[in-house]
Amino acid sequence: LTEKLPAPLGLVLAGGEGRRMGGRDKAFLTLGGETLAARAVRRLARQLPSVAISSNADASVFAGLGCFVLPDRASDRRGPLAGVEAGLAHARDAGLPGIVTVAVDTPFFPGDLAARLIAASKGMTAVALAATGDGLHPTCGFWPVTALGPVSARLAGGDYRLGRLAEAELDGQRVTFAGDGFFNVNRPADLVVAETMLAGRD
């Protein structure tokens, strides 16, 4: 019999600087009376047994969310790929097969996201990224621990593009979802739209 692998770590990528939000930290924007960080953690925790937040902010600002905070391994901010690196390093050290990432500014990510990504990951050995008819959504994906070396190498070389690394170098699998589950809250106007989308969703 094949030994069952442990579940991957769920990781909320919340390290953005919010430039298009006028410098406001998107993790603490409120949608339906709940911060985007709290919403992402709550929804991802339904899909995976362990959830962390990727952020360089003081961990105390996330107190009460029931998860731990992983800062980037390097002192300089290098985008979501640096968060993936930190998550993979933690997963490796914890004996986990990988991580499932979601972006904190994607408040409606699908309820079956983790299950479908894992199913496409070739036994949790391959990268699997979410996609829709509009294209790839690389901040929402499964990354196996074997990707840590290539991720660190890309960061060291100054190329921080998630999708480029996953598809060009790691043979990333695309998992196509229908609907608007990857709507991004990038600007103040998007938050207004998200409030209108909230009706009937959890």
Q: 112 is written with which tokens?
A: 């079956």
pTM (global) more than 0.85: yes
Nearest to 201 by CA among 39, 22, 29: 39
Lowest average pLDDT, out of 60-64, 74-78, 159-163, goes to: 74-78
Q: Quote the crossing angle between the two packed helices 148-156 and 80-94, to the nearest 10°.
A: 150
- pLDDT per position as a tens digit, 139-188: 999 999 999 999 999 998 888 888 888 877 888 899 999 999 999 999 99
Encode pLDDT of 91-109 as tens digits: 999 999 999 999 999 999 9
Cα–Cα distance for residue pair 202/17, rounded to 1 Å: 26
